[in-house]
Amino acid sequence: MEIMDKLALYFQFPFVRYAMVAGILIALCSSLLGVTLVLKRFSFIGDGLSHVAFGATAAAVALNLTNNIFLVLPVTIICAILLLRAGQNAKIRGDASIAMISVGALAVGYLIMNIFSKSSNLSGDVCATLFGSTSILTLTRASVWLCAGLSMAVITVFLLFYHKIFAVTFDEDFATATGTKAKTYNLLLAAVIAVIIVLAMNLVGALLVSALVVFPALSAMRVLKSFKAVTICSVLVSVSCAALGILISILAGTPVGATILAVNIAGFGIFSLIGLAARSG
Amino acid sequence: MPQLSCRDLTIGYEGKTVVSGLSFDVNAGDYLCIVGENGTGKSTLMKTLLKLMPPMSGRITAEDGLSSNQIGYLPQQTAAQRDFPASVKEVVRSGCLNRCGMRPFYSKPEKRMADENMEKLGIAALAKRCYRELSGGQQQRVLLARALCAARKILLIDEPAAGLDPKAAVEMYSLIKKLNDEGISIVMISHDIAASIKHASHILHIGERYPLFCGTVSEYQQSDIGRKYAGLGES
Ligand SMILES: Nc1ncnc2c1ncn2[C@@H]1O[C@H](COP(=O)(O)OP(=O)(O)O)[C@@H](O)[C@H]1O
Ligand SMILES: [Mg+2]
């Protein structure tokens, strides 16, 4: 009862409600492309991109931009496309170029923050961008609308291209050979992944982003066998973990991103056990 | 006019020639078998025909109206799809994708065609099963059903019998023959020369760097190389 009262009290504050809405939307669309990311070896790109997004955020801080998403989003999308191109180019190893871009962005971002930041709590700022922080609780109404709009765009693209994404992820050669423009869809996927990463960074911070995208899909894949079932299940898992994580972090005062991921890890454990039981039973 | 025609084709990877001097036609209703030893470039030729990679020189022309969304393809088994969570039905239906254009979902007739093709290949009962948990032979049938959904005119098949037991291989070959009898042109890679001679109408035999033979089956059986290899196949 005490917990309920405490929650009711917190939910009277608009910023808590905003945080909940934004968190659920972000969790929903970040889980949609989880399977694709895991199986297409895009997870490296996801990781690299989150570092790029960190660097761009640092630059936005240095430039004193009020809404840094207008810098971070385009930069991340461009890098996503560049990384994808590099991955397809057999002459430069994809992994190496990803490592170059991502670690480079991390270093430059930290440097920029150090040189330009006027904040007295620099390491606190860096930590917040990397691991997420209370930032989700300081969302304004405008940024919630922005989150909602971008999430709707991601969901719409996913629904419209669901079968194409399946075909291109499952067997790119067959798709290309039989007349599906796999290259175009790969570019689309890269752009959508960039949007998702920038969105999710608001929730859990740059370093934890790819985990947020990948964990629900990995959990669902432990138990379920079809693409549709795995997709639906990972959305449900992701949304429940995010909601639970946000509630816990509000009540216990823990960092939002890390709490959501801890809940996701617990979820993965449960699904692994169910998967093992199903296989042996 | 032939459905597919190659003139003086040279194929290879990044400047390294694998085979050169390939010239042949595939006419509507043909059953062309590509034979040759491992590593002579059969799969490379098929990927080039499918425009998955560019030819190093020479020309591939397709008949007017044969665009890639009328081609079916059964790839040589790869490990790439090993962990993918996909049901048999989802995989087979994905063959219909090239009929959809910009439409985001499959139409009723497309779904029905996927069901019919699963029926035809005897995998209807597996529709809800997970693709990665099937046996090699079952997976091969699923991929063939998918290829059939995509193939309106021509079907390119890379070693359909690899990894199958002898009985399943015989079944696979007679299934493909049946499809050919129904009017779909077949281009198939195989190193089972006896089976190729039995079913195909034309043979392309690729040797190291150059094609050794290209013509009809009866010409092949009379040629020196044909007698040599067909003899090997029968013994
Ligand atoms: N992706 C690749 N890059 C470079 N060389 C390759 C590649 N794939 C195959 N090769 C080479 O091309 C030759 C022909 O291979 P392939 O077409 O697969 O032969 P086959 O299908 O007739 O057994 C082989 O020598 C092989 O080493
Ligand atoms: Mg081969």
ipTM computed for the complex: 0.89
Domain match, B162 and B234 both:
yes
Contact residues, chain B, for A161 at CB < 8 Å: 104
Domain match, B158 and B235 both:
yes
B54: Cβ–Cβ under 8 A, 6 or more apart, which residues? B48
Please report whether residue B80 resides in a domain.
no
Please report whether residue B208 resides in a domain.
yes
Distance from the Cα of residue A76 to its chain's centroid: 13
Count of domains forming chain A: 1
Count of domains forming chain B: 2
Report whether B148 contacts B95 (CB < 8 A): yes
B134: Cβ–Cβ under 8 A, 6 or more apart, which residues? B88, B126, B142
CA distance A30 to A26: 6
Please report whether residue B72 resides in a domain.
no
Ligand 1 within 6 A of CB of B13: yes
Does the structure show a pLDDT above 50 at A238? yes
CA end-to-end distance (rounded Å), chain B: 39
| Nearest in space to A94 (alpha carbons), one of A83, A78, A102 | A83
Please report whether residue A22 resides in a domain.
yes
Ligand in closest contact with the CA of B34? 1
Q: Which two tokens stand for residue A185?
A: 């869809």
Question: Best of B20, B33, B44, B208 to mutate for ligand 1, by most ligand atoms within 8 A of CB?
Answer: B44
Please report whether residue A280 resides in a domain.
no
Give the nearest ligand 1 atom to B46 CA: 17
Model pLDDT for residues A138-147, shown as the tens digit of each residue? 777 888 888 8
Residue B168, domain extent? 1-66+154-235
Please report whether residue B75 resides in a domain.
no
- Is A170 in contact with B94 (Cβ distance < 8 A)? yes
Residue A269, domain extent? 2-274
Ligand 1 within 6 A of CB of B117: no
Please report whether residue A261 resides in a domain.
yes
Please report whether residue B166 resides in a domain.
yes
Model pLDDT for residues A96-135, shown as the tens digit of each residue? 777 777 788 888 888 887 887 666 677 777 777 777 765 5
What pLDDT is stored for residue B235 in this prediction? 41
Model pLDDT for residues A171-182, shown as the tens digit of each residue? 888 999 998 888
Please report whether residue A279 resides in a domain.
no
Please say which residue of B120, B152, B184 terminates a domain: B152
CATH number, domain with residue A222: 1.10.3470.10
Please say which residue of B128, B152, B176 terminates a domain: B152
Q: Which of A268-272, B57-61, B88-92 has the lowest mean pLDDT?
A: B57-61
* pLDDT classification of B58: cutoffs 50, 70, 90: very high
**Is pTM beyond 0.90 here?**
no
Q: Which two tokens stand for residue A259?
A: 């709490």
- Is B94 in contact with A39 (Cβ distance < 8 A)? no
Residue closest via CA to ligand 1's atom 3 equals B13
Domain match, B140 and B159 both:
no
Our CA angle for A242, A247, A248, nearest 5°, is 100
Q: What is the mean pLDDT of residues B74-98?
A: 84
Contact residues, chain A, for B128 at CB < 8 Å: 226
Report whether A242 contacts A260 (CB < 8 A): yes
Please say which residue of B103, B118, B152 terminates a domain: B152
Does the structure show a pLDDT above 70 at B69? yes
Q: How buried is A139 (Cβ within 10 angstroms: 0-12 exposed, 13-18 middle, 19+ buried)?
A: buried
